[in-house]
Amino acid sequence: MLKGRDIVTINELAREEIDRIFEVAREMVPIAEGKKKSKLLDGYILANLFFEPSTRTRLSFEAAMHRLGGSILGFSNPSATSLSKGETLADTIRMIDSYSDVIVIRHPLEGSARLATEFATNPVINAGDGAGQHPTQTLLDIFTIVQEFGQVEELKITLMGDLRYGRTVHSLAVALSYLGAEVHLLSPRTLKMPKHVIREMKCKPEIHEKIEEVISDTDVFYVTRIQKERFPDPTEYMKVAGSYVINGELVKKMKSSAIIMHPLPRVDEITPDVDTTKHARYFKQAFYGVPIRMAILALVLGVV
């Protein structure tokens, strides 16, 4: 059902398609862990085009492809490519499309992945377009919640931190609202969720500025870093840096079953002493990036 499809926003995936991705991802877990071998993507080439820094997204797509016996080409430093000579994104995409079977792109401009789909014949997967969307991150985020709680419905999920510039929370808020979660948004006033994202949500979220309002009854805390690189003015950044910090003391006020997630990288929003508490799930969440991306690749390439 996903063969040949582009994945640019989470909105374009139907509920059954998300369920299918999760079903395949579950089968991929032992392969992602290295316990089982697979040649499912033998002979396929992934083009990984990273115009912005990345650790997890790029490397988990690479790990996914390697674990399934496929190959990878691409770059993580665009200054070393002909783009620095003035080549357009359209020309770069057209050509790389002819070298590969699927393209993964991360770019600082919103709308860049959509543009890439217009010049590629093969599937294009958006790995983050500026402050736009990050749909594969959303899939692994929801997968993590489902693996923990069995479902998303009726869970109280608090997205917190930089809701304005953080793209992971833009895709996630929309998806969670459609999946029946009770979504709460916690941010400083200057970093509120953009109105256009709230309009896309199925149910209106509750808005908070104080962590005390949600600390004791939230099931899932989704913490984000302040997106320093997207601030037009550094003094504005300094005003909000370190707004909410989850530390060992705060964790004691949480429900005993609550989990803490973070797309990573973290800066100082979660102190290291939280890592060893029963609530921390961010490293597990980062691992799930591999089986989820294996499932997405296998599905858009039409091998499962």
Residues that bind ligand NCD (CB under 6 A): 56-57, 128, 134, 137, 167-168, 224-225, 263-264
| Closest CB to ligand NCD among residues 152, 226 | 226
- Show the CA angle centred on residue 140, arms to residues 137 and 143, nearest 5°: 150
- Of all residues in this chain, which one has the CB nearest to ligand NCD in the complex? 263
120: its two tokens? 């590629």
Pairwise CA distance, residues 156 & 144, whole Å = 15
| Closest CB to ligand NCD among residues 182, 240 | 240
DSSP conformation letters of 50-99? ESS--SHHHHHHHHHHHHTT-EEEEES-GGGSGGGGT--HHHHHHHHHTT
Q: Smallest distance, Å, CB 128 to ligand NCD?
A: 5
The neighbour count for residue 89, using CB atoms within 10 Å, is: 18
Q: Smallest distance, Å, CB 167 to ligand NCD?
A: 5
| Closest CB to ligand NCD among residues 9, 44 | 9
The neighbour count for residue 42, using CB atoms within 10 Å, is: 11
Residue with tokens 């033998």: 42
Q: Smallest distance, Å, CB 288 to ligand NCD?
A: 11
| Closest CB to ligand NCD among residues 5, 225 | 225
Pairwise CA distance, residues 66 & 72, whole Å = 8
| Closest CB to ligand NCD among residues 205, 263 | 263
| Closest CB to ligand NCD among residues 11, 82 | 11
Q: Smallest distance, Å, CB 263 to ligand NCD?
A: 4
* CB burial of residue 118 (10 Å; 0-12, 13-18, 19+): exposed
Q: Smallest distance, Å, CB 42 to ligand NCD?
A: 28
Sign of CA dihedral 23, 27, 29, 31: negative
The neighbour count for residue 280, using CB atoms within 10 Å, is: 19
Q: Smallest distance, Å, CB 171 to ligand NCD?
A: 10
Element (H, E) at 127: strand 124-129
Element (H, E) at 234: helix 234-240
Q: Smallest distance, Å, CB 82 to ligand NCD?
A: 25
| Closest CB to ligand NCD among residues 104, 119 | 104
